[in-house]
Amino acid sequence: MPDIQKRINQWIKDHREEGTNLLQKMVQAPSTQGNEAGAQAIVAQKLQEMGLQIDSWEPDGSELKKHSYFYSPRSEFSNSPNVVGIMKGTGGGRSIILNGHIDVVPDGDRDQWDDDPYSGAIKNGRMFGRGVTDMKGGNVSLILAMQALKENGIQLKGDVIFQSVIEEESGGAGTLAAVLRGYKADAALIPEPTNMRIFPKQQGSMWFRIHVKGRSAHGGTRYEGVSAIEKSMTVINHIRALEEKRNARISDPLYQNTPIPIPINLGVIEGGNWPSSVPDLVKVEGRMGVAPEETMEQAKDEMAAWLLKLGEADQWFKENPPVLEWFGARWVPGSIDVEHELMNALVHQYRQIAGQDPVIEASPWGTDGGLLTHVGETPAIVFGPGVTEVAHYPNEYILLDNVFSTAEIIALTLIQWCGMETEQDGVTQSGTRETILGNGN
């Protein structure tokens, strides 16, 4: 039996320049919301060159709106196609979805960038540019993993479904569209920027708005009114207490390095309309974290019940309760058993390549993994080469070594998960993961 690991490793080394050029080309194609077509054309061309079955389409906003998990600030997706490439297996193996988003957040204040945000500049083993770490570098790792298998003549038994999707940064409409198009598998892998940590669990999140009422009066006789701004301070402190309560009951060891596993962030506060008037209305907007094993409805109910307790702290709220509404973006929480066979395969191959145990944690942010798990019935793991601390920041970068190490780990994981057809004496036979790659236990 040929040494598969050595062949994959050598192929990755030999194609390092090719992979670097592909990533640089993708970074140089800005793919902010509504502008993804150029970058997706690069992806589609590469998948076509690899001989994959290509499916490209612009999601139907009118159809997506009918789904309870849909959110997007726009209703139509022209110039924003999803691209799927299918590497068909020979049959009898487990399938997998490799899901990465092509959309990137805006580049922000360009004066804070050392180079053009879409330069793809390479310095000291790092590539810089908006989206290089979140998450085009991860997408390139997926592509290289598949290409390494194909060009080494390795046939998998299970199907590999590569998805380059839009709209992850806005709530996951691209992945939802792929699920509704019928794409499901036995498991999924998402190469979000984890610093090569493995995340079997991802928190969810959703946006909320609270309207706090006061009573208007002239500023000269403010004692005749009730300031909504002052009352909002009571509401904010009350929400902080809820955050403490919710996090105190989380004992999952995967969160031991996360100071606040499921934060409640208050991002917007607006109130008052005249300096000489007592403000009678304040609007507070925020993001509520949702635990991996919690449903979004459970989190909503807890927030609503908690706000009703405000009347116990301040009589004003008994007659003037704050109004809670849920709006905007939401990310579904997701979880996979830490002993899932895909987890075991990924951990084993990480050890083989990195020579050490991986760090296994719960994600501090939401991903499309929740949609794949709960809507697509495809349990998902998050593992990628990007640098968590620089995603969405000026001078975003990725360590190129990690892109190629991740590609190698994923290629070997695909063999172990999907199974491989082996050739012996001119006869094709099914190889097991133990005989090909060693026991993964």
Please give the positions annotated as active site: 103, 168
Q: Are 289 and 205 in contact (CB under 8 A)?
A: yes
In angstroms, the CA 288 to CA 206 distance is: 5
In angstroms, the CA 328 to CA 179 distance is: 21
